[in-house]
């Protein structure tokens, strides 16, 4: 597996990481812990060194699984986790909370669940409008000085927030959604990251499964699957967006690859400091995704893809309204 460095931070990770959220959260019942541990360890064996989790995934369960899986390999891997919420009495509410005292509480919990004494990359999961980002960055700066955290990250933050945070504590990476069917970061975020020397970690690089070609007209989602609430996965949106999958399938056939591999290779080709984190619960999908790191798209391929993508009008918002209000702040 090739390695990449996230911006100017010096933080080296595998070109493709593993997003672990779906093992415990968001897409139906949690994967059996033993099977989840085996999948994560299979990724390590195949050269993945970058693993992404968060306290909110579960809550808490995902960090415990990641900690158990990676404990034997701790000196070989980079673990990223996130703070930024409290969960109410039932552990189901997600209440924004980035107060400095809560950040410290969250970090202590994450260290314990991850079975480690240091977090390699600590993200603010969502910007908290009630807490100045300078206070957030300053708290993480102190945690870095104390040896509990190595690098600071932001997730789904806007341009102004990134600049303000970076002025207090250099931001190693921004994690936000980016893929062939969500290209908004190209407008202002990617130029800013390049200017400041910040790495980019795209989540949902396969469009929450849509870009694999496995989701077609007539596909439905269980009530405990996050996609059941996402406008982009409504029946009419899926039907309208199938043209993108058709295009991707044709491109993949020309390259002797799968649609997922082309989608990931396209992301890797955008910038050398981009490290996507596709997630899966299946070993054969893990192997398929990781093979994308070896798929070379020529300048001609990329020009053809760019022209084709510009002709596609993707239908549907990527979040329901109450979650959309939390991004880009």
DSSP assignment letter at 30: P
147: left (phi over 0), alpha (psi -120 to 50) or beta: left
Nearest 10 degrees: CA dihedral of 109, 110, 115, 117? -90
Element (H, E) at 86: strand 85-86
Gap between the Cα atoms of 157 and 161, Å rounded: 6
Contacts of 161 (CB under 8 A, 6+ apart): 127, 133, 154, 329
Beta strands in 134-260 (DSSP E): 149-155, 171-177, 199-203
Q: Are the C-beta atoms of 175 and 123 separated by less than 8 Å?
A: yes
Active site residue 60: no
Token pair of 155 as six digits: 């997730």
Select from 1, 126, 3 the least CA-distant residue to 55: 126
Find the catalytic residue in 57, 60, 123, 178: 57
Separation CA 67–CA 74 (nearest Å): 9
Integer angstrom CA distances of residue 138 from 38, 135, 152, 173: 37, 5, 10, 16
Residue 276 DSSP SS3: coil
What is the C-alpha radius of gyration for the chain, rounded to an integer number of angstroms?
Answer: 19
Provide the annotated active-site residues: 57
């Amino acid at each position: 597996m090739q390695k990449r460095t996230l911006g100017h931070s010096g933080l080296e990770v595998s070109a493709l990481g593993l997003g672990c959220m779906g093992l415990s959260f968001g897409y139906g019942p949690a994967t059996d812990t033993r099977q989840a541990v085996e999948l994560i360890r299979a990724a390590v064996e195949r050269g993945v060194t970058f693993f992404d989790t968060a306290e909110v995934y579960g809550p808490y369960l995902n960090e415990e699984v990641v900690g158990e899986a990676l404990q034997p390999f701790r000196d070989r891997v980079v673990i990223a986790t996130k703070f930024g919420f409290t969960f109410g009495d039932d552990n189901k509410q997600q209440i924004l909370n980035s107060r400095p005292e809560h950040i410290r509480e969250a970090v202590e919990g994450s260290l314990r669940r991850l079975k480690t004494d240091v977090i390699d990359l600590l993200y603010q999961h969502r910007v908290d409008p009630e807490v100045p980002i300078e206070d957030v960055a300053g708290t993480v700066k102190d945690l870095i000085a104390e040896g509990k955290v190595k690098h600071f990250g932001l997730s789904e933050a806007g341009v102004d927030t990134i600049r303000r945070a970076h002025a207090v504590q250099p931001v190693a990476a921004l994690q936000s959604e980016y893929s062939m069917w969500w290209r908004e970061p190209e407008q202002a975020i990617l130029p800013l990251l390049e200017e400041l020397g910040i790495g980019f970690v795209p989540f949902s690089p396969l469009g929450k499964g849509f870009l694999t070609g496995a989701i077609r007209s007539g596909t439905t989602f269980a009530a405990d699957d996050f996609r059941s609430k996402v406008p982009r996965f409504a029946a009419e949106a899926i039907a309208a967006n199938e043209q993108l999958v058709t295009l991707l399938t044709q491109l993949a056939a020309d390259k002797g690859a799968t649609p997922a591999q082309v989608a990931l290779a396209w992301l890797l080709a955008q910038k050398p400091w981009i490290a996507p984190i596709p997630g899966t619960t299946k070993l054969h999908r893990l192997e398929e995704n990781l093979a994308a790191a070896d798929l070379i798209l020529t300048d001609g391929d990329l020009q053809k893809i760019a022209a084709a993508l510009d002709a596609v009008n993707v239908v549907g918002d990527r979040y329901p309204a109450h979650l959309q209000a939390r991004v880009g702040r």
